[in-house]
Amino acid sequence: MNDKHRITILYDEAENLEKAKAERIGQPFPLAYAQVADALSKRGHTVQTVAVSKKIRTLVATIDKDNSDVIFNLCEAIASSSKHEHNVVGLLELFQKCFTGCGSAGWLLAGDKALSKKILQFHNIGYPRFCTFERGKVDWAD
């Protein structure tokens, strides 16, 4: 049994741009994906990193051709926008890739805090008090 794996790390390419900005003004900007890649490489795994950009066709082709054992998903945004983060996971699901983290339904649910809290309440699971506002009006509160 081989304990060494081929691992692809997905991340938002905007991280590289933010690092460059920080370095121009002399501030450190540790990259999470680079730290994960380093830790995995030190354990003998073969690691590649893939920056996710607005070029979705490129991402689709990259995921389709990826032959890693697992995709370590650190992509929480596309071009710094978290609006479509669940779609990255959806692509991984559609291509039947093995990946870390929850599925696209979990991403969508986690993005709707009010709905998540309602589901927790329905199942008698404790959660912090909260309320939501829309245009200055309380929409729902516990």
pLDDT in tens for each of the 142 residues of the chain? Answer: 578 999 999 999 988 888 888 889 999 888 999 999 999 999 999 999 999 998 989 999 999 999 999 999 999 888 777 777 888 999 999 999 999 999 988 888 888 888 888 889 899 999 888 877 778 787 666 5
Q: What is the DSSP string of 103-132?
A: -HHHHHHHH-HHHHHHHHHHTT------EE
The DSSP element (H or E) to which 24 belongs, if any, is helix 14-24
23 token code pair: 């370095």
pTM of the predicted protein model: 0.80
What is the Cα–Cα distance from 142 to 128, expressed in whole angstroms? 9
Query: Contact, 6 vs 68, CB < 8 A?
Result: yes
